[in-house]
Amino acid sequence: MGEGFRPGIGIFTILELVARAREKFGERVFAQRRLPSGEFSRVTYNQLYDDVVRLGAALAKIGVRARTPVGVIGENRYEWAVTYLAATGGGAVCVPLDPQLKEKELAGILERAKVEVVISSPSSLATIESLKGRLPKLRELVSMEDGVEGSSRGWAETLATGDEAAAREEYLGRDVSLDDLAVLLFTSGTTGASKAAMLTHRNLGANVDQVYQVLYFDESDVFLSLLPLHHTFEATAGMLIPISAGCTITYARSFKSKEIIGDIRDAGVTMMCGVPLLYEKMLAGLRRAVGDAPPLRRLLFKTFMGLTRGVHVLTGANLGRAFFAGLRKKAGLDTIRMFISGAAPLKAEVSRTFYYLGLNLLQGYGLTETAPVVSVNVPQRIKFASSGVLMPGVQVRIHEPDADGVGEVAVAGDNVMVGYYEDPALTANVLRDGWFYTGDAGWLDRDGYVYITGRIKNVIVTAAGKNVYPEEVEAELGAAAEIGEAAVMAMRDPSSGREVVGAVIYPDYEYLEGEARRAAVPLTDEFVEGRVREAVAACCRSLADYKRVKIIKVREEEFPKTTTRKIKRYLFRDGEQIREA
């Protein structure tokens, strides 16, 4: 057990985890959701268990057995959680579906996974209904609400059929083992081609237990469920992990910053999982607010921030908790204990600034194939540039490190998937001798902290044979207020014909508009591009010459992104966007 870590809860199957929560937390609130009136509707752990068993029994009545694939699609909501827990709890295989996928993509996944039943929110019902005729395996469609056209069964009607004693007995009597397949997760690679990771109850249960030991949270904590539940990050960290400690889950209304802050404030949220872009936008909003404040307030902010930085470097103490208490309260963030960042690299400066403001923003590292958490920073020992300490029982080694110690990150542990669905060749390529080869480049420091430098396939090889990881350069560019988003990639230098380091930049137009106003000049393309070029040059001064950006292209709209807010790099060639298939 690591230093300061608490004892684990053990490894449970999904239904055992839910039953344990009912026994320990009973009438405590499991989930809440804001109603149009502004009030919250709430569901207890007792009701969660009852609804999971009722839905599981109802699924048994319509022929769902062990290993039967059951699809779930929709926004984050209580019914989504019940579907996932009920399907896996009875030994069926849950297939989470991305509601943003096009009809053709959904049809391909449903056909490949041989899904027999889909439980859908109303927003996706019509799409799934239109596919039923083309997919002979798909025989049942259930709505997460009642009275919605296009579904075979409504939610209440379906749950009611699960009250039959024989069906409940069959569901609860199934022998589900830790090594049974629980979920089938279709992920998109950088080429857009999907692969399906197979995670067992052991994989998920182990990761829940590992995170429980490393991060402290309990039944007094309130999670905000914001990231899509069809991704493993939110399904594990935003659903299963809170269940392990009896926390309350609040379903966010949207990704709008104003509504997120409102949900945090009104629900008393203490923990949230997010992606770097979300936290970068929060910080950008704060910078704009400070920039628009009266001169004295701006001076006080800069003075306190400088003092906080200096004292922290010298003593390790964080004066920002006291200095910025009023600012956190005004921003609606005074209840937050921990922000967790995953799914993409977090810029060290963003984490550091949050910390100096008195907010723990903890970067972690993980993949769908590792259920997903491999490492995470802990509040008492944050290293801003790192992805934190390893989970107990998880091993990492660096395969074929270069002179700087950077190589491919390989992971071993009970949380590592059993393979890719119906793809033994791809499985054999990434799972070798008990190790999962991630495709990520990284290194370990002497304290065992993990550092991820980027995807190996994204690496830029200069004419001198030097390796440049785009993510490392992007992290530097992200410190500039003028830059909203940046994608670093190889571009061909027209004068030499060689590939050099280039950057496509989406400026922070709101910030630059304020700068133009303060300078009493119009916000022209020339002004924007000039400020961006100055910012890039300033950021690159801390980089080795061969890593510095040589070509800059400015775009006027945000980058196309995945549902976890990652830039779709595969849509760019030589700095220009190509059409998505």
CATH code reported for the domain at 459-577: 3.30.300.30
What tokens were used for 256? 């709008």
Please give the full DSSP string across 386-420, using - where no structure is assigned.
S--EEPTT-EEEEES--TTS-EEEEEESTTS-SEE
At residue 192, the pLDDT reads 43
- Give the ranges where 26-139 is alpha helix by DSSP (H): 45-61, 78-89, 103-113, 122-132
This prediction's pTM: 0.85
Whole-number pLDDT of residue 151 = 58
Gap between the Cα atoms of 356 and 379, Å rounded: 13
Rounded to an integer, the average pLDDT of 354-364 is 95
Amino acid 40: pLDDT: 94
Q: Please, what is the average pLDDT of the chain?
A: 91
pLDDT in tens, 148-185: 765 578 999 999 999 888 889 999 999 999 999 999 99
* pLDDT tier for residue 564 given thresholds of 50, 70 and 90: low
- 189 pLDDT higher than 50: no
Task: Name the range with the highest mean pLDDT among 179-188, 190-199, 311-320, 390-399.
Answer: 390-399
Q: Judge whether residue 127 has pLDDT over 80.
A: yes
Average pLDDT over residues 370-390: 94
The least confident of 192-196, 326-330, 401-405 is: 192-196
Question: What residue segments make up the domains of the chain, in order of their start?
Answer: 459-577
Are 145 and 121 a contacting pair, CB within 8 Å? Answer: yes
Q: What is the dihedral of CA 126, 130, 132, 135, to 10 degrees?
A: -130
Question: What is the tens place of the pLDDT at every residue in 453-495?
Answer: 888 888 887 766 677 888 888 888 887 889 999 999 888 888 8
What number is the average pLDDT over the span 397-406?
92
Query: 1-53 pLDDT, tens per residue?
Result: 455 689 999 999 999 999 999 999 999 999 999 999 989 999 999 999 999 99
- 307-322 mean pLDDT: 91
- Backbone φ and ψ of 94, nearest 5°: -85, 135
CA 328 remoteness from chain centre: 24
Look at residue 465 in the predicted model and tell me its pLDDT: 66
How high is the pLDDT of residue 188? 59
Whether 104 has a pLDDT exceeding 60, the answer reads yes
Q: Is the pLDDT of residue 573 over 90?
A: no
* 348 burial level (CB within 10 Å; 0-12, 13-18, 19+): middle
Reported as a pLDDT band with limits 50, 70 and 90, residue 428 is very high
Contacts of 385 (CB under 8 A, 6+ apart): 348, 451
Q: Do 66 and 176 meet the contact criterion of CB atoms below 8 Å apart? A: yes
- What band does 193 get if pLDDT is binned at 50, 70 and 90? low
What pLDDT does 190 receive? Answer: 37
| pLDDT higher than threshold 50 for residue 191 | no
Nearest of 267, 264, 290 to residue 278 by alpha carbon? 264
Q: pLDDT tens digits, residue range 228-264? A: 999 999 999 999 999 999 999 999 999 888 899 999 9
